[in-house]
Amino acid sequence: MIKHLFSYYSIFKNYSSNSIIVMEEFHDFTMMFLTIITFFILVVILRLIISKFFNYKFMENINMELIWTILPMGILIFIAYPSLFYLYLFDLLVNPSVTIKVFGAQWYWIYENFDNLKGYTYSSYMIQDLEMLSLENYKMGWRLLETDTRLTVPYGAKIQCLTTSLDVIHSFSIPELGIKVDAVPGRLNSINFQISRPGVYYGQCAEICGTGHPFMPICLEAI
């Protein structure tokens, strides 16, 4: 039991190899506490039901109050430490396949791709209605969501996205991919994601950033 109780420490070292195993280990770890607590409560309730005696003068017990205050605190600490550890590790990508940097501006996006040799930067603006009608069929996307330049990333690869802003607070959000990270001036936020299938994914700025807020869409294409 003790060996299994602290087995998650060995998982920390290999968390990047299989996150599913890590979550299963943490689930088993928390379920062990839940099982013990449930069993203890059931025993107490059963004892109260079958007992023939009752103390009518029992009003307070300092030792018992200390136990039911300190013991839950200790259990929460045992659960909170690995939980916070996992949250930190899941946001940390050691060796991403692709790193992109996203700048929020009023009111468009600037993307910067990095590779081993060089990086290149390009801006992305929303396509106006009249302009969209003159585009090729493959480029005719959703109204107010299609952009003149798409953020292109490989699907199936581990992608690290770094976000910041040039002026006010923006929010880089693609709901279909579960991505939402604030772009804050003077701060570099990071989010990691992996796209399982190719396609075009749309999003918008999720932070009210001025009069052009509804007109700075995000168009990501996974190839």
Provide the 8-state DSSP code for 214.
G
Q: What are the tens digits of pLDDT across the range 123-166?
A: 899 888 777 777 765 566 678 888 888 888 888 888 888 999 99
Q: What are the tens digits of pLDDT across the range 163-194?
A: 999 989 999 999 888 888 999 999 988 888 88
- Specify the pLDDT at position 155: 87
Statement to judge: residues 154 and 194 lie in one domain: yes
Q: What is the CATH number of the domain that holds 165?
A: 2.60.40.420
- Specify the pLDDT at position 88: 74
Provide the 8-state DSSP code for 139.
G
The pair of three-digit structure tokens given for residue 144, joined into one six-digit string: 């107010």
- Specify the pLDDT at position 140: 63
Statement to judge: residues 67 and 115 lie in one domain: no
Q: Is the peptide bond preceding residue 107 cis, with omega within 30 degrees of 0?
A: yes
Task: Give the number of other Cβ atoms within 10 Å of residue 198's Cβ.
Answer: 11
Statement to judge: residues 162 and 182 lie in one domain: yes
Q: What are the tens digits of pLDDT across the range 83-98?
A: 887 777 766 666 778 8
Choose the final residue of a domain: 90, 118, 145.
Answer: 90
Statement to judge: residues 162 and 80 lie in one domain: no
Statement to judge: residues 111 and 18 lie in one domain: no
- Specify the pLDDT at position 184: 92
**Radius of gyration of the chain, Cα coordinates, nearest whole angstrom:** 26
List Cβ neighbours of 75 (8 Å cut-off, separation of 6 or more): 33, 37
CA 93 to chain centre: 12
Statement to judge: residues 58 and 112 lie in one domain: no
Which range of residues forms the domain containing residue 77? 2-90
Choose the final residue of a domain: 27, 55, 90.
Answer: 90
Statement to judge: residues 126 and 79 lie in one domain: no
Q: In what order do the strands lie in the sheet with 179-183?
A: 151-153, 217-222, 199-205, 170-174, 179-183
Statement to judge: residues 205 and 115 lie in one domain: yes
Statement to judge: residues 151 and 63 lie in one domain: no
Statement to judge: residues 141 and 207 lie in one domain: yes
Asked if pLDDT for residue 18 goes beyond 60, the answer is no
Statement to judge: residues 78 and 43 lie in one domain: yes
Provide the 8-state DSSP code for 156.
T
Residues 42-53: what's their mean pLDDT?
86
Statement to judge: residues 152 and 180 lie in one domain: yes
Instruction: Tell me the H-state helices in 8-165.
Output: 8-12, 19-50, 62-90, 129-133
Instruction: Give CA–CA dist 140/223, Å, rounded.
Output: 18
Q: How many domains in the chain?
A: 2
